[in-house]
Amino acid sequence: MSDLLRRLTEARGVSGNEDEVRQLIIEEVTPLADEVRVDRMGSVIAYKKGTRSNKKVMLCAHMDEVGFIITRIDDNGMLKFATVGSIDPRILPSKRVRIGDKAIPGVLGIKAIHLQEPAERERAVKVSQMYIDIGAKNKEEAEKLVKPGDYAVFDSECVYFGDNKVKSKALDDRVGCLTLIEALKSSYPFDLYACFTVQEEVGLRGAKVAGYSIQPDMALVVEGTTCSDVPGVDPHKHSTRMGEGPAISIADLASYSNKKLVSFLIQCAKNANIPFQIKESISGGNDAGEIQRAAGGIMTAVVSVPCRYIHSPSSVADLDDINNTIKLVQEFLKGCEAI
């Protein structure tokens, strides 16, 4: 698992520019599926024919990640940019990025603290005040390397550390992609559609198209979700807790999970002695929000891996939580035909 997770998280795939991670996923799932196709949005759909049932079950994980898009090159060679997806601006100064198809290295910069007025130091710096420095001396030199419309991604390697932890960018939602790849290694009585969707971070766009295209009998979304068990956060405000297993969602701002599927997930976890938790907040949203409303309505549920410091270059997850999420999804698939 560790090598595949490393390759998945280190692959570049900002929303709308998922080429590199998409190619990696295609290479991984082609030997495991009966058919692999890329839809018009760019999502990868791996189909595995069932052994006896005509039911259709959809697994969904998004392959895209948050990042940046270059909007302008200034005369001094600095790059202005906009964020792609939700990123806290306070984490950005001094972070390394890679830009465009050639992965040009750059650094996110702001005015030095020595030059800031006292009032400026008390406020979070806005994205509009930042720039990307690629070491170019002027606009002409910068234009030889990058252009407006190029995407940029956090430059962050996957590191295994501490008590069974992993640090990387894009754990949201490459942990879900890993889970789907593992699920494709088994056979099922029903037709399985493993969907690796695009553009989740900018509006659940790939999932909407995939849901209408497949029209499954049920869908399970596998996510990386907020883990807030950190200093300064009261226990009653913890959304999920690291090390306590996969988080089963009741609802979020985009969808309500189907009660039958939620009950079945809980029973699967209990029967297989898999630790699990109920996600304790309803903030945020994921691909379930569009799948649930597609094609007349689809039974949908969500199971997630808790991830600290989400949408940053240094998100952290527990390897046991990842492994137990994989196990829970596999247990779900063993019996969901009866629902």
Q: Give the span between the Cα atoms of 64 and 45, in whole angstroms.
A: 15
Torsion angle in degrees (nearest 10) through CA of 214, 217, 222, 226: 110
DSSP 312: S
Residue 121, H or E segment: helix 118-121
For residue 195, list its beta bridge partners: 45, 60
Matching residue, tokens 């998922």:
18
φ, ψ for residue 289, nearest 5 deg:
-60, -35
Helix boundaries (H) for 184-250 = 205-214
Which residue in 222, 234, 257 sits closest to 328, CA to CA?
A: 222
Q: Give the span between the Cα atoms of 198 and 135, in whole angstroms.
A: 32
Question: Would you say 274 and 320 are in contact if contact means Cβ atoms under 8 Å apart?
Answer: no
Distance of CA 310 to the CA centre of its chain: 9
Residue-wise burial string across 104-141, b where 16 or more C-beta atoms lie within 10 A, e elsewhere: bebebbbeeeeeeeeeeeeeebeeeebbbbbebeeeee
Strands 67-73 and 79-84, by their bridges, are: antiparallel
List the catalytic residue out of 18, 200, 201, 331: 200
| Whether residue 122 lies in the annotated active site | no
φ, ψ for residue 136, nearest 5 deg:
-80, 145
Which conformational region is residue 48 in: left (phi greater than 0), alpha (psi within -120 to 50 degrees), or beta? Answer: beta
- Residues labelled as active-site residues: 200
